[in-house]
Amino acid sequence: MDYNVPNENGFFGEYGGRFVPPQLEDVMKEITEEYFKIKDNSDFLEELQDLYEHYVGRPSPLFHAKNLSKKYGAEIYLKREDLNHTGAHKINHCLGEALLAKKMGKKKLIAETGAGQHGVALATAAALVGLECDIYMGEVDIAKEHPNVIRMKILGATVVPVKSGLKTLKEAVDEAFIAYLQDPVNQFYAIGSVVGPHPFPLMVRDFQSVVGKEAKAQFTTMTGKALPDNIVACVGGGSNAMGLFTPFIKEKNVNIYGVEPAGRGFKTGDHACTLTYGTPGVIHGFKCYLLQDEEGEPSPVYSVASGLDYPGVGPEHSYLKDIGRINYDCINDKEAIDAFFELSRVEGIIPAIESAHAVAFALKLAKQRPGESILINLSGRGDKDIDFVIDNYGKDYGISR
Ligand SMILES: *Cc1c(COP(=O)(O)O)cnc(C)c1O
């Protein structure tokens, strides 16, 4: 299978590209040039590899979940990104972006954060590499995600409260962009997923693809088989999914599944199934499938997993959907919470609610494909979610505080 995207302008088919004001166009060109200079440079790659190994704790293990396998009838494997330093896959691209910013002579990393996961991973990378860090966060999210706000502050980052509009993620992105425009020379906007203008979807994918490369080799060592039959990951912006999927895209015998959040169900409007129900549009400097109203304004979206509720999605996923290489499906809140408890109780692993969407889908798939292997990207751990889960769902599972 021939697969070679994006093109030199950052387009994956009709998606991606760079839809930004003229001042940012030049900055993005400069970042692209610098990234292409270092991307295959052995000194840079060694430095990053050294951090992956001794700082993040890579390679993350591949775990054969034998209890689940026995219960559901397929051979289930978990790629343990939950065991990384800071508890999720985001540190993989934050370190890459921080090193690039440092090499470009930038003074400060800036970014938006919703639930605070990207903010914490970036504040961590900034502390390590020795850069200042400003994280833009809506006031509503600041109140909701208190532990992550404290973590960022302890790590030395400045959390900038965003007071406009709904005071959540979209406004935080808007304000971070405004701040970025004021000083794109000293600041570096470190985007938190495979989204945003070119080169970010490409760059974040490259940094995350360490996940898939490791998983592929580990699977073969562990099973003696060349390839898993099925691989599964949850999709918010789509970075953990692209990380796992990239080395498998050309392997046509591997079925690939991306899982979006159906929230309270499509009919309620409270969901973020962008690839299933969206239409092509432009958001935050790039073209993708988008949940939007008649004027092209992004629709309000919802999921029990704050890391998944984004109205857009990575341009490469949009392209992979159109060419039919990846199957995209949805899992609702209830199914995700069930899987959160199932993995906790059957394997002793508490997953992030985001990752629980991938687990829920894989357990359904297992019943349809008995005996086959299913490799799931367990993108993060659930420590951040325990209070929320107990307060909102504890009684359904017989637990109270
Ligand atoms: C942020 C986050 C996600 C969603 O982001 P992607 O870019 O789609 O990977 C998924 N899982 C965890 C644990 C996260 O923190």
Domains 11-51+90-204 and 58-87+209-397 share a fold: yes
**How confident is the model over 76-91, as pLDDT tens digits?**
999 999 999 999 999 9
pLDDT for 338 equals 98
Half-sphere exposure of 42 (CA within 13 A, CB side): 0
Verify whether ligand 1 is closer than 6 Å to residue 88 (CB atom).
yes
pLDDT for 170 equals 81
Verify whether ligand 1 is closer than 6 Å to residue 240 (CB atom).
yes
Q: At what angle do helices 353-368 and 333-347 cross, to 10 degrees?
A: 80
Cα gap 108→137, rounded to integer Å = 17
Cα gap 65→234, rounded to integer Å = 18
DSSP 381: B
C-beta separation of 126 from 103 below 8 A? no
**How confident is the model over 268-312, as pLDDT tens digits?**
999 999 999 999 999 999 999 999 999 999 999 999 998 998 999
CATH class of 58-87+209-397: alpha beta
Three-class secondary structure assignment of 182-201: HCCCCEEECCCCCCCCCCHH
Domain edges within the chain: 11-51+90-204, 58-87+209-397
Distance 239 CA to ligand 1 centre (A): 7
Distance 306 CA to ligand 1 centre (A): 9
Q: Nearest-CA neighbor of 120 among 98, 142, 91?
A: 91
287 is catalytic: no
Verify whether ligand 1 is closer than 6 Å to residue 235 (CB atom).
yes
C-beta separation of 154 from 185 below 8 A? no
pLDDT for 115 equals 87
Verify whether ligand 1 is closer than 6 Å to residue 354 (CB atom).
yes
Distance 396 CA to ligand 1 centre (A): 26
- Ligand 1 pocket test, pick from 205, 207, 234 with the greatest ligand atom count within 8 Å of Cβ, gives 234
250 is catalytic: no
Q: Nearest-CA neighbor of 291 among 315, 310, 318?
A: 310
Query: Within a 10 A sphere around the Cβ of 344, how many other Cβ atoms?
Result: 17
* Topology of the domain covering 11-51+90-204: Rossmann fold (3.40.50)
Below-50 pLDDT ranges, the chain: none
Task: Collect all residues with Cβ–Cβ distance below 8 Å to 66 and sequence separation of at least 6.
Answer: none
Whole-model pTM: value is 0.97
Q: Nearest-CA neighbor of 115 among 350, 303, 316?
A: 303
Distance 16 CA to ligand 1 centre (A): 20
97 is catalytic: no
